[in-house]
Structure 1
Amino acid sequence: MSTKYLKRFFKPKSIVVFGASEKENSMGGILLQNLLEGGYQGKLAVVNKRGYDSVFGVPCYKSMAQLPEMPELAIICSPPESVAELVRKLGAHMVKAAMILTGGLSRSSEERGNCLRDDIREAAKPYGIRILGPDCMGMLVPGHNMNASYSHVNIKKGKVSYIGQSGLLGTAMIDWANGQEIGFSHFLTLGEGVDLDLPSIIDYLAQDPYTQSILIQMDQLKGSSRDLLSALRAASRNKLVLVLKSDIIFDEDKEHLLAPGIKDEDMVYDAALRRAGVVRVETIDQLYNALETLTRMKPMRGERLALVCNGMGPNALATDQLLRSGGELSELTDETIEALRQVLPDHWNLKNPIDLHADATPERFAKVTQILTKDKNVDAVLVTHAPTRMAPGLATAEEIIKVVRNTPRNILTCWMGRSTAIECRNRFNASGVTTFITPEEAVDAFMHMVDFRRNQEVMKQTPAPFIDQNEQNHIRAKKLIADAMAEGRDYLTHNEACDLLDQYDIPVSNTHYATDVDGVVKIAQKLGGAVAVKAMHPENVYPFNYDNKGQLRWKDLALDLFSASEVNQAVTQLAYRVQERFPLGDLHGFCVQQMKRGFQSLQINMGITRDPVFGPILLFGSGGYTVDVLADRQVMLPPLNLSLAEQLIKNSHVYSVLKENSEQLERDLEQLSTLLIKLSQMVVELPNLKGLEINPLLINRRGVLAVDVSVSLGEASQLAISPYPEYLAEEIKLRRSGRPGIVRAIRGEDEPNHLEFYNQLSPESIRLRYFYSRGIPTHQELANWTQIDYDREMAFIVTSPRLEGKGWETLGVVRAVTDADNVRAEFSVVIRDDLQGEGLGVVLMQKAIDYCKARGTLMLMGSTLTSNKGMQGLALKLGFKNHYNMEEDVIEMEMMLNQPTEDWQNYRLQH
């Protein structure tokens, strides 16, 4: 939904509370008192059918009809049975926003038997009224003096926004934050989420200038995973986002919710959140520590940590936790070591972590910390204090606070103990200094910032050049799957699965097929040497279909068979074992391959599975047919580029084995990454591909080879992250020169060419495009321009082979950003100066018009400077209506693409 609607919730000019009274424990009464005590400046009223004259001094009316004017926000605390009808009346009176604190709406209605929550949704739908809740704790916005909640205390003003699903966890968070002197810009819980969803709130807060960080607590993902990841990715590009994801599904209900090949849904959530550029915390303690970090830490310049303490015991604990978490200790420069020699005792070990010794004074603490903050190899310092007579806690804290105020480096503190440490920690809190109770907590909080920094780096990496696709082969792959499904099968035969890999140029072991034992013997004699035989049956045609011990797969195999008699005996026993488990008619025959031992091969498992929440997922890890394959299973959401594929591989145990044993590590890494890219292409191009497992995939000095593969089919699925829209590409010729070009959607690999394109624009073209003069864009800006979310915006470029040299160059670009309700899209376009008059403006603008019209956008609009006569003329030529905006001093250009079909759409177009 559009974030403009949310202003009615976060900044309402008038509020009416339904169901408030002065009775003890009245939820509406508590909320009204909080509004009054918080200093809310807007108009307030109460509606209660008992007809009080006032409630806590606020005018009260017996019915909605008696209200002198309708509110911007209605807050409902009425009995559950009355809520749906109340929402219907609010909608009829043109109220557009309602917040429902009433709980108990999940139970069935006595009249119709359906859920009361569903009644509310149906009541709101005809009127376009937006609903927050039910069963939410309310909303607190200190910058607007609004405490519209049942919280027992108000919140302080800060820069962190909190969005939760649990109201009780929310009130606990408020209580803890007040004790730590931590504030918020926004604080709310969503409750059961009838209408307003998490992605919409994230979008609003991502644009809020007073919010620097977003903290999210969620139990279960509701709604579209694509919408959530899209919102998280957009927010995390500019703000630090942390998520506490809890799991409230009982164990006995979880098995059918797991993707085949996945034993822990947390693995998938981790992969999804990491792909979105956010950091996940796992416990309430980590959530509190993360909030401490979010609020007080300065921007990260790196991830190397220096440790300081007046004893090595706490330093050892911190070091262990840091290295266990994948962190990095700073290596001190020679200049720093020499400076520390002047401060520390002679028996100092000249290394990080630094032991100040038990006789350390407050001045020694401060001087050492100050020296470390000037070391170019130190990105942050953790100062840990254990109480002694020589280093009084409070005096030492005061000295450290002085250092913190005079350095851009992050300094974390940990004052251990309780009786004397509490006052010190309170002093740190009051001074805005990050502080923790234990060294391990401090390191965990630091690693949250490191994880965020790493995720951001991955998101903004420039992908390697795109791999050209073999379109004809991929058409054959689609037909292969369509034919199997037409026969009523939800799997491919082994021969078909190998053919599928072959269509994507994935090397597959040469396989022969036989229907009986005699046929296997004949094939083995022809092949010569050792052979492997696999019995095919209804279970092993499906990927990841093996028991927890991995033993059933071994029962389907006979390996290292040499002589004809050995083959006969082993395959006969194999057939008997299979017949014990399946009827004779279910035996699908045998696969026969030459054994591949002797080449020092590493076995790998990679494939595709489908998660019930996030859709298709790529897997990578150690291969084989034992349970060990589950111990090294790494996952990532498609689509992938080479940077993401390499990251997936490097997270696995396979990579550490490769590093130790590979003669050509870079080649092996490139080959495996390329295979993962091809699997990613399969996911995008073959939506009915439900699962695929290559196990084992052999890699050795000769290259890679898929030995065994299985494929399952199902209903078409949607990726959680929108893939590259290859289908939108089309060939063109420039109008005057006849130069060939391609109009297509932009992609991350275009970043170098896009920088070159920008540098060829004249200062005047830049001013007309951006409305001001600006310098060369940074890598982060270029990444934001080229690595776009195709669900939220579209940028088409014209690219053409270079007139001199190899490769392609960018000639022009048009960008269209659509609001969340798909009502309006805003465009911008720029053409290289030396190509004016080639008709590229018309080509790009028409492409944007056609695209937005096809996706159902109602209006395409843009604005340009009054001096930009060329853009104004182009807009008129294409059918836009131009008018002058006196307030902004710009020309606004608008074109209706589709007619509204709902009242709320008409309302949006008029406001």
Structure 2
Amino acid sequence: MSTKYLKRFFQPRSIAVFGASERKGSMGGIVLQNLLDSGFPGGLFAINPEEYQSVFGVRCYRALTDLPEMPDLAIICAPPESVADIVRQLGSHRVKAAMVLTGGLSISGNPRVSNLGEDVKEAAKPYGLRILGPECMGLLVPGSKMNASYSHVNIQKGKVAYIGQSGLLGTAMIDWANGQEIGFSHFMTLGHGVDVDLPAVIDYVSKDPYTHAILLQLDRISGSARRFLSALRAASRNKLVLVLKSDIIFEEANKPSLAPGIPDEDRIYDAALRRAGAVRVETSDELFHALETLTRMKPLRGERLAIVCNGMGPNALATDRLLKRGGLLAPLSEDTVTKLNALLPYEWNGKNPLDINTDATPERFAAVIAILVKDASVDSVLCIHAPTRLAPSLETAQEVVKVARKSMRNILTCWMGRATAIAARNHCNSVNVATFITPEEAIDAFMHMVDYHRNQVTMRQTPPTYVEQNSQNHQKAVGLLENAKAQNRDFLTHSEVCALLELYDIPVQNSYYADDINGVIALARELGGSVAVKALHVENVYPFNYDENSRQRWHDLAQDIYSISEVRHATTKLAYRMSERFSESELFGFCVQQMKRGFQSLQINVGITRDPTYGPLIVFGAGGYAVDVLADRHVMLPPMNMSLALELVKSSRVYRIINERSYQPERDVEQLCELIIKLSEMVVDLPELKCLEINPLLLNKLGILAVDASVSLGEPSRLSISPYPGNLEEPITLKRSGRPAVVRPIRAEDEPEHLLFYNQLSPESIRMRYFYSRGIPTHQELATWTQIDYDREMAFIVSAPRLDGKGPETLGVVRAVTDADNIRSEFSVVIRDDLQGEGLGRILMSKVIKYCKERGTLLLEGSTLPANKGMQGLAAKLGFTNVFNAEDEVVEMRMMLNEPTEEWQITRLHQ
């Protein structure tokens, strides 16, 4: 997440171009020409070992040492073999930012250049020099009048930042956007990203006030998935983020391995992007159309769309696409229908979508849309136009635009055709009204906005309270895994798996074990009734270990065996089949269970898997022995709460079956959600747990029951999303009342109590905290305060049991928000008015000071009003330096926690 020196890329005061010449095809020359043509206001230098006096009027120097001053940014377009040496020279002369446009530094199989990319990275490391690239197309920032790229055209100024990994797709996007009169706030491709990576750039542009949305084009996720998702989540809370992710990897050796049990990585990427609040687009066409909506559309008021056309054919295409994408047709109010009846032919059907007939004039189009945008049940309108003599495209567009410019609602337009429709589309582009060629394109673009809206709602859902159970057994679970690893096993035995599930309060079918056929018969006699016998061997102890047709695994099982003779025959058959496939050391005996398939049981597959990029994942879907379990397998990134667990359950067909057939659907869904939370707890508690599969998990009127399960072990994993840091919880006693309480990090589940806490603050306390009087916070604000990314910020609350015994209550909170480079952290603290004098302020401030210091933060700072003498006095006692800021009329409190060790840290501290 480090953004150090990135300002020198986006807002440099001077630029030096290595390899610039007037030779035809010179990349350096193209870059220098683009800088000149864009009107770059800073200093420009050309560097070329050939004895040029100037390049396109810019003075040329033979070497870096000849420059009159060192540049903020160096752009390297030199031959591949010389790049690492140039980087060393730049570093030794204290240049801190370099962009490498040179290609061929990462070509596998070419011994001459295959390691040059790594050489560049190593050359920059000793000097702290930031590298963008290699093999990037460059950087365009209209706000800085800078086109530092090899693009054939410049870009217009806009409010969308484009960050890509493909240079050619980037130049195609620029060309298309210029044709649509669409601009950008920033435009760049990262190339191979040996240093400046995607998370750092996302962090930088997401803080730019002129950037309203971000478009990402990705070929791969390199580096830390946790950093990437953290940056993406932070950006998507304030800006719409769309992602085009391609899956083509040309070199077989570089293809990532799939997570066990997941048939394709697309499901994982979709789950990761949804969890981060981003919207995925599938094709480059969708990306282009998404740019259209991002640039031209107003904030979405809701999801209900009204469709207007002068014919039913295009209406049908649009409606079909909308419903298939899960969109909503807006219902028309009685008042709207009445007004439309006076305007439209008598044969119109009175419903949405609206067919306003082929004889519709431009005035009729505009009048109908003007009525629709005043209907409270209509959130957006799509106007589809097929040209006729009565309604020429351009004239209709002019009338529709008049309505669109006055309305607060979004009006999308689709001008079908080409020869006569081009002028209408150009007119819409010129006045910033979203326009498309086909109804399907318009619907897809609208649904991108809807998907973003839904993602934001999901991200900010308040989860129901879930009480963690049997925390004292977690250490026993750790012991189970340690015991297996001590025996050099990367799996748990069947009995160990059952014990592990029971430690997390997951109901497990009673299992009994035998070493041979006679032992199985003895167990069957003792159990009575119908039994199942499973052969245990080296393959089925591993989760998700299916063969190509997913059938061989179930041949190791005999079910519904009643008589002893049937038991003997079935077990003998199993033993013979196993002896043909496995050696004696690979066989682990038999497991015997009573049959439990009655009570109209639904069979479910649930568990944990691990992806090479995103780490642990929770898996959920239909299960059993007679279905293709891969067909209904859905994933979500842990850690999870009850809201996220419910979303995962709803994504599977299991949810529909429960709603159709269950006697108690709410109870069943709640039990499944609680089970998923327990699996999420396992992921956090047991980092060496690689995979876990429960299949089948039975669900019937008696509840849930795990019938069969397996666990594999591996190296410790790291979650892609920071889990709740339970290790920071600390019991305390209030100073005056002696009341027991706990200081702990805030959780999403705390939102209801946080609202009650806020409502108990006096107007004066609110003014002291926020510097102004304010009303009750919205759900969105509360979600932002409670659903935090622990990698980026921290909020500690004091929580104590209510005096009336009705659950916990929040007594005080301290918050620290740290910048991406861990230089500064800004704190704020507020205590409930009736608890002044209990020592909570000192407790919370001491907690946040210790936390930030151990985290390596350099400076902790905050500000308060001059009238807040209590806060100033507490800060002084804790070691803060208080200084009055006359310009802002606040008292600034500052404490150095750690000393800077690098020059750039010192510079940042003084900015």
TM interval, shorter chain, is over 0.9
Q: Which amino acid aligns with 1:24?
A: K
Q: Which amino acid aligns with 2:652?
A: S
Does structure 2 retain, via aligned residues, the 8 Å contact 1:550–1:626?
A: no
What whole-Å deviation, never above 9, does each CA across 1:731-759 have from its counterpart, x for those lacking one?
10111111111000001111111122222
Q: Which amino acid aligns with 1:300?
A: L
Q: Equivalent residue for 1:873?
A: 873
Question: 3-state DSSP class of the match of 2:34?
Answer: helix
What whole-Å deviation, never above 9, does each CA across 1:669-725 have from its counterpart, x for those lacking one?
101101001101110111111000000111111111111100011111000000001
Structure 1, unaligned stretches of length 5 or more? none
Higher alpha-carbon deviation: 270-279 or 735-744: 735-744
Q: In structure 2, how many angstroms separate the alpha carbons of the residues matched to 1:808 and 1:433? A: 51
Q: What is the CA distance between 1:438 and its match in structure 2?
A: 1.1
Counterpart mapping for 1:116-265 below 5 A: 116-250=116-250, 257-265=257-265
Q: In structure 2, how many angstroms separate the alpha carbons of the residues matched to 1:603 and 1:255? A: 34
Higher alpha-carbon deviation: 273-282 or 806-815: 806-815
Does structure 1 retain, via aligned residues, the 8 Å contact 2:494–2:710?
A: yes
Q: What is the CA distance between 1:159 and its match in structure 2?
A: 0.7
Does structure 2 retain, via aligned residues, the 8 Å contact 1:531–1:594?
A: yes
Question: 3-state DSSP class of the match of 2:6?
Answer: helix
What whole-Å deviation, never above 9, does each CA across 1:463-483 have from its counterpart, x for those lacking one?
111322312111111111111
Higher alpha-carbon deviation: 750-759 or 512-521: 750-759
Q: Equivalent residue for 2:862?
A: 862
Higher alpha-carbon deviation: 356-365 or 761-770: 761-770
Higher alpha-carbon deviation: 570-579 or 500-509: 570-579
Higher alpha-carbon deviation: 602-611 or 832-841: 832-841
Q: Equivalent residue for 2:95?
A: 95
Does structure 2 retain, via aligned residues, the 8 Å contact 1:306–1:330?
A: yes
Q: In structure 1, how many angstroms separate the alpha carbons of the residues matched to 2:557 and 2:252? A: 33
Distance 1:669 1:11, change over 3 A: same
Q: In structure 2, how many angstroms separate the alpha carbons of the residues matched to 1:330 and 1:112? A: 62
Q: In structure 1, how many angstroms separate the alpha carbons of the residues matched to 2:538 and 2:836? A: 64
Q: In structure 1, how many angstroms separate the alpha carbons of the residues matched to 2:185 and 2:686? A: 45
Q: What is the CA distance between 1:640 and its match in structure 2?
A: 0.7
Q: In structure 1, how many angstroms separate the alpha carbons of the residues matched to 2:58 and 2:112? A: 37
Distance 1:114 1:164, change over 3 A: closer
Q: Which amino acid aligns with 2:169?
A: L
Distance 1:293 1:256, change over 3 A: closer
Q: In structure 2, how many angstroms separate the alpha carbons of the residues matched to 1:521 and 1:256? A: 47
Q: What is the CA distance between 1:109 and its match in structure 2?
A: 12
Q: Equivalent residue for 1:424?
A: 424
Does residue 322 in structure 1 map to residue 322 in structure 2?
yes
Does structure 2 retain, via aligned residues, the 8 Å contact 1:107–1:116?
A: no
Q: In structure 2, how many angstroms separate the alpha carbons of the residues matched to 1:888 and 1:2? A: 29
Question: 3-state DSSP class of the match of 1:46?
Answer: strand
Give the share of equivalent positions with the same residue, in percent: 69
What whole-Å deviation, never above 9, does each CA across 1:555-578 have from its counterpart, x for those lacking one?
111011000001110111111111
Q: Which amino acid aligns with 1:498?
A: C
Q: In structure 2, how many angstroms separate the alpha carbons of the residues matched to 1:350 and 1:805? A: 57
Does residue 767 in structure 1 map to residue 748 in structure 2?
no
Q: What is the CA distance between 1:611 and its match in structure 2?
A: 0.2
Q: What is the CA distance between 1:253 and its match in structure 2?
A: 5.3
Distance 1:112 1:397, change over 3 A: closer
Q: Equivalent residue for 1:689?
A: 689
Q: In structure 2, how many angstroms separate the alpha carbons of the residues matched to 1:110 and 1:281? A: 34
Q: Which amino acid aligns with 1:30?
A: I
Q: In structure 2, how many angstroms separate the alpha carbons of the residues matched to 1:747 and 1:535? A: 45
Q: Equivalent residue for 2:347?
A: 347
Q: In structure 1, how many angstroms separate the alpha carbons of the residues matched to 2:115 and 2:592? A: 57
Q: In structure 2, how many angstroms separate the alpha carbons of the residues matched to 1:902 and 1:616? A: 35
Counterpart mapping for 1:665-814 below 5 A: 665-804=665-804, 806-814=806-814
Q: In structure 2, how many angstroms separate the alpha carbons of the residues matched to 1:338 and 1:135? A: 62
Question: 3-state DSSP class of the match of 2:161?
Answer: strand
Does structure 1 retain, via aligned residues, the 8 Å contact 2:105–2:114?
A: no
Distance 1:395 1:910, change over 3 A: closer
Q: Equivalent residue for 1:75?
A: 75
Question: 3-state DSSP class of the match of 1:616?
Answer: strand
Q: What is the CA distance between 1:883 and its match in structure 2?
A: 3.6
Does structure 1 retain, via aligned residues, the 8 Å contact 2:4–2:904?
A: no
Distance 1:250 1:136, change over 3 A: closer
Q: Which amino acid aligns with 2:698?
A: L
Question: 3-state DSSP class of the match of 2:5?
Answer: helix
Structure 2, unaligned stretches of length 5 or more? none
The alignment covers a number of residue pairs equal to 911
Q: What is the CA distance between 1:434 and its match in structure 2?
A: 0.9
Q: What is the CA distance between 1:873 and its match in structure 2?
A: 2.1
Q: In structure 1, how many angstroms separate the alpha carbons of the residues matched to 2:690 and 2:2? A: 34
Question: 3-state DSSP class of the match of 1:782?
Answer: helix
Q: Which amino acid aligns with 2:601?
A: S
Question: 3-state DSSP class of the match of 1:892?
Answer: strand
Question: 3-state DSSP class of the match of 1:3?
Answer: coil
TM-score relative to the length of structure 1: 0.97
What whole-Å deviation, never above 9, does each CA across 1:456-505 have from its counterpart, x for those lacking one?
00001111113223121111111111111111111000111011110010
TM-score relative to the length of structure 2: 0.97
Q: What is the CA distance between 1:111 and its match in structure 2?
A: 11
Q: In structure 2, how many angstroms separate the alpha carbons of the residues matched to 1:115 and 1:251? A: 17
Counterpart mapping for 1:50-61 below 5 A: 50-61=50-61
What whole-Å deviation, never above 9, does each CA across 1:591-645 have from its counterpart, x for those lacking one?
1111123311111100000000000000100001345211111110001111010
Does structure 1 retain, via aligned residues, the 8 Å contact 2:305–2:379?
A: yes
Q: Which amino acid aligns with 2:332?
A: L
Q: What is the alpha-carbon root mean square deviation over aligned residues?
A: 1.8
Question: 3-state DSSP class of the match of 1:588?
Answer: strand
What whole-Å deviation, never above 9, does each CA across 1:196-224 have from its counterpart, x for those lacking one?
11111111111111000000101000111
Does structure 2 retain, via aligned residues, the 8 Å contact 1:80–1:102?
A: yes
Does residue 836 in structure 1 map to residue 836 in structure 2?
yes
Q: In structure 1, how many angstroms separate the alpha carbons of the residues matched to 2:123 and 2:836? A: 55
Counterpart mapping for 1:14-33 below 5 A: 14-33=14-33
Question: 3-state DSSP class of the match of 1:876?
Answer: helix
Does structure 1 retain, via aligned residues, the 8 Å contact 2:642–2:674?
A: yes
Does structure 2 retain, via aligned residues, the 8 Å contact 1:415–1:437?
A: yes
Does residue 597 in structure 1 map to residue 593 in structure 2?
no
Counterpart mapping for 1:276-675 below 5 A: 276-626=276-626, 628-675=628-675
Q: Which amino acid aligns with 2:480?
A: L
Higher alpha-carbon deviation: 190-199 or 43-52: 43-52
Does structure 2 retain, via aligned residues, the 8 Å contact 1:513–1:590?
A: yes
Q: Equivalent residue for 1:882?
A: 882
Does structure 1 retain, via aligned residues, the 8 Å contact 2:83–2:120?
A: yes
Q: What is the CA distance between 1:360 and its match in structure 2?
A: 1.7
Q: In structure 2, how many angstroms separate the alpha carbons of the residues matched to 1:113 and 1:288? A: 35
Does structure 2 retain, via aligned residues, the 8 Å contact 1:548–1:627?
A: no
Q: Equivalent residue for 1:818?
A: 818
Does structure 2 retain, via aligned residues, the 8 Å contact 1:309–1:355?
A: yes
Q: Which amino acid aligns with 1:739?
A: R
Q: In structure 1, how many angstroms separate the alpha carbons of the residues matched to 2:107 and 2:562? A: 68
Q: In structure 2, how many angstroms separate the alpha carbons of the residues matched to 1:561 and 1:856? A: 64
What whole-Å deviation, never above 9, does each CA across 1:303-330 have from its counterpart, x for those lacking one?
1111111111111111111111111112
Q: What is the CA distance between 1:13 and its match in structure 2?
A: 1.3
Q: Which amino acid aligns with 1:523?
A: L
Q: In structure 1, how many angstroms separate the alpha carbons of the residues matched to 2:726 and 2:314? A: 55
Higher alpha-carbon deviation: 559-568 or 589-598: 589-598
Q: Which amino acid aligns with 1:186?
A: H
Q: Equivalent residue for 1:64?
A: 64
Q: Which amino acid aligns with 1:489?
A: R
Does structure 2 retain, via aligned residues, the 8 Å contact 1:550–1:627?
A: no
Does structure 1 retain, via aligned residues, the 8 Å contact 2:694–2:706?
A: yes
Q: Which amino acid aligns with 1:47?
A: I
Q: In structure 1, how many angstroms separate the alpha carbons of the residues matched to 2:397 and 2:858? A: 60
Q: What is the CA distance between 1:177 and its match in structure 2?
A: 0.2
Higher alpha-carbon deviation: 224-233 or 748-757: 748-757
Q: Which amino acid aligns with 1:381?
A: V
Higher alpha-carbon deviation: 76-85 or 901-910: 901-910
